[in-house]
A and B are shown apart, each in its own frame.
Chain A
Amino acid sequence: EPEVTQTPSHQVTQMGQEVILRCVPISNHLYFYWYRQILGQKVEFLVSFYNNEISEKSEIFDDQFSVERPDGSNFTLKIRSTKLEDSAMYFCASELATGQPQHFGDGTRLSIL
């Protein structure tokens, strides 16, 4: 069964550094998402992306965050200058079309030191 894959599984970065989290969505899916989950807290929506544009973003997704689909397969989340509070699990999801569910990857654990 096709799945969403995320790399790396664990990323450790110094505060203030840039980090890029990578996702390969399911190949024929058209809608892409990033969510995050701080340890012990709820899964929170960050951003949705369709047709090479951001469709919707939350208050968390400020100017330090950006997303890109640089080619036909990858979907990336960049954090420009990481803060301690960016430490979390980051989940990528993709969706084929209306009426179909979102499918999630197993996440990248981001640890900011």
Chain B
Amino acid sequence: DAKTTQPTSMDCAEGRAANLPCNHSTISGNEYVYWYRQIHSQGPQYIIHGLKNNETNEMASLIITEDRKSSTLILPHATLRDTAVYYCIVRVDNAGNMLTFGGGTRLMVKP
């Protein structure tokens, strides 16, 4: 799987949008972008994934650039409970393929 690059840490004010960037410049045409988060050593929690179109669900929005070399996860109104490590992962979307976790971005939401 292609590698991803994320900032080590970010801060966000409570109630504001959190925009978490991810670079995946070597992504292949059949690789999806997945986002997970991990709150305080709990199990990774799935957030959203996409191939090339922007995606939105009840948790977040995913914006993928046209060349697919980068993406941004948007939490529209961050709360203190969104404080977590956020992982951007690229993966060929065949069931049975492993997820390769990097170091992620530690997002701190502050009051």
Beta-carbon contacts under 8 Å, A52-68 to B: 55-56, 58
Beta-carbon contacts under 8 Å, A71-113 to B: 89, 91, 93, 95-107
Beta-carbon contact of A101 and B95 below 8 Å = no
Beta-carbon contact of B99 and A106 below 8 Å = no
Q: For the complex formed, measure the closest distance between the CB of A11 and the CB atoms of chain B, giving whole angstroms.
A: 15
Size class of the B contact interface (CB-based, 8 Å)? 20 to 34
B49 contacts across to A, CB distance below 8 A = 101
Q: For the complex formed, measure the closest distance between the CB of A106 and the CB atoms of chain B, giving whole angstroms.
A: 5
Q: Which of B18-26, B40-48, B74-82 lies on the face that meets chain A?
A: B40-48
Q: Is B15 an interface residue (CB 8 A)?
A: no
Bound state CA distance, A96 and B95, in angstroms? 8
Bound state CA distance, A103 and B96, in angstroms? 13
Q: Kindly supply a per-residue 1/0 record for chain A positions 15-46, scoring 1 wherever the CB is within 8 Å of any chain B CB and 0 otherwise.
A: 00000000000000011010101000011110
Q: Which residue of A lies closest to B103 (CB)?
A: A42
Q: Kindly supply a per-residue 1/0 record for chain B positions 25-50, scoring 1 wherever the CB is within 8 Å of any chain A CB and 0 otherwise.
A: 00000000010001001111110010
Q: Which residue of A lies closest to B87 (CB)?
A: A43
- A: which residues have CB within 8 A of B? 4, 30-31, 33, 35, 37, 42-45, 48, 50, 55-56, 58, 89, 91, 93, 95-107
Pick 26 A–B contacts, CB within 8 A, sort by A: A4-B43, A31-B95, A35-B101, A42-B102, A43-B87, A43-B99, A45-B98, A45-B100, A50-B95, A56-B96, A56-B98, A95-B95, A96-B95, A97-B95, A98-B93, A98-B94, A99-B95, A101-B49, A102-B99, A103-B46, A104-B43, A104-B46, A105-B43, A106-B42, A107-B41, A107-B42
